[in-house]
Amino acid sequence: MSILDNRAALKAEIDKVAEVAGYLWTKGWAERNGGNITVNITQWVDDAMRALPAISEPRPIGTVLPRLAGCWFYCKGTQKRMRDLARDPMANGSVIRILPDCAHYEIVADAPVAPTSELPSHLSVHNYLLAKGSPYRASLHTHPIELVALTHSKKWLEKDAATRMLWSMIPETKAFCPRGLGMVPYMLPSSVELADATIKAIDGDYDVVMWEKHGVFAVDTDIMSAFDQVDVLNKAAQIYLSARGMGFEPDGMTDAQMQELSDVFGLPK
């Protein structure tokens, strides 16, 4: 028995999570247990689900998130591998609900798999998105090789330096990641400080932010779209690094070409 049985819409969302987890592994972005995914599944919760008993004691989130009372999430399990999740999302992740105090959660299904250690960041961002009235329901943290490599240089940590370079590598980058790439300075993984800094960066109007020397954090309507944004940005980083590997600094698209693209596709400046 799974909570997904006879819940086609919810199962379709979790199937997307499993599909993305497989891509993360194939791309080499998900060594060991690296990366995590959460999806706000509250819109697919029915009365029968609401009546289910918890299968864990209440556990602290580590922070208080006023917009999340009564919300439900699918979460990758801590220490679980993306390559295993791709095969069996409900054995390598779990469904949790947030308690009315907005400070604790309990696991509801299918098995008592403890959620990702990055839960404070994921849930803080979901809280922020709801408060803003955003339609985004999925968040992804992963370790894309070339994007992480960029954050080892101060040059690319300057505000929007990486954004401009990445947009100029291939025209689709700006079209599909119109908000660019924010930067969060290094902070301890899984900390509430990292969660707070991530919200601050996303509030600067980014869908995708880098955690310096660690990974990327992306939000979008669903997990496939969040993955697409990271994939597009990392492809641009790969083109940059390929050119560098061939021994030259890539020219990038000209300012006039970028301007034309923004005008024609109606993108922000």
Active site positions, annotated:
118
Which residues contact Zn ion (rule: CB under 5 A)? 215
Per CB under 6 A, the segment of 38-46, 73-81, 150-158, 160-168 that binds ligand 13P is 73-81
Residues across the chain: 269
- Report the residue from 2, 42, 63, 117 that binds ligand 13P according to the rule CB under 6 A: 117
Task: Assess contact for 142 and 35: CB atoms under 8 A.
Answer: yes
Binding partner of residue 33 among ligand 13P, Zn ion, none, CB cut-off 5 to 8 Å per kind: ligand 13P
CB of 167 to ligand 13P, least distance (A): 27
Name which of 45 and 233 has its Cβ closer to ligand 13P: 233
CB of 72 to Zn ion, least distance (A): 24
- Report the residue from 16, 76, 122, 235 that binds ligand 13P according to the rule CB under 6 A: 76
Name which of 33 and 163 has its Cβ closer to ligand 13P: 33
Task: Assess contact for 75 and 116: CB atoms under 8 A.
Answer: yes
Mapped onto helix, strand or coil, the DSSP state of residue 22 is: helix
Q: How far is CA 32 from the centre of its chain?
A: 18
Per CB under 6 A, the segment of 85-93, 111-119, 175-183, 232-240 that binds ligand 13P is 111-119
Q: With binding defined as CB under 6 A, does residue 79 bind ligand 13P?
A: yes
Task: Assess contact for 113 and 73: CB atoms under 8 A.
Answer: no
CB of 33 to ligand 13P, least distance (A): 4
> Could you give the CA distance from residue 82 to residue 92 in angstroms, rounded to a whole number?
8
Binding partner of residue 94 among ligand 13P, Zn ion, none, CB cut-off 5 to 8 Å per kind: none
CB of 46 to Zn ion, least distance (A): 33
User: Strand 208-211's sheet: what is its strand order?
Assistant: 59-60, 104-109, 93-98, 72-76, 36-40, 138-142, 215-220, 208-211, 181-184
- Report the residue from 185, 189, 200, 213 that binds ligand 13P according to the rule CB under 6 A: 189
Count Cβ atoms within 10 A of the Cβ of residue 179 and give its class: 0-12 exposed, 13-18 middle, 19 or more buried: middle
> Could you give the CA distance from residue 132 to residue 264 in angstroms, rounded to a whole number?
29
Helices (H), the chain: 8-26, 47-50, 82-87, 119-132, 145-150, 154-157, 161-167, 172-176, 192-203, 223-245, 255-265
Pull the structure tokens for residue 240.
């940059």
Q: With binding defined as CB under 6 A, does residue 34 bind ligand 13P?
A: yes
Name which of 182 and 215 has its Cβ closer to Zn ion: 215
Q: With binding defined as CB under 6 A, does residue 191 bind ligand 13P?
A: no
- Which spans of this chain sit near ligand 13P (rule: CB under 6 A)? 33-36, 76, 78-79, 116-118, 141, 189
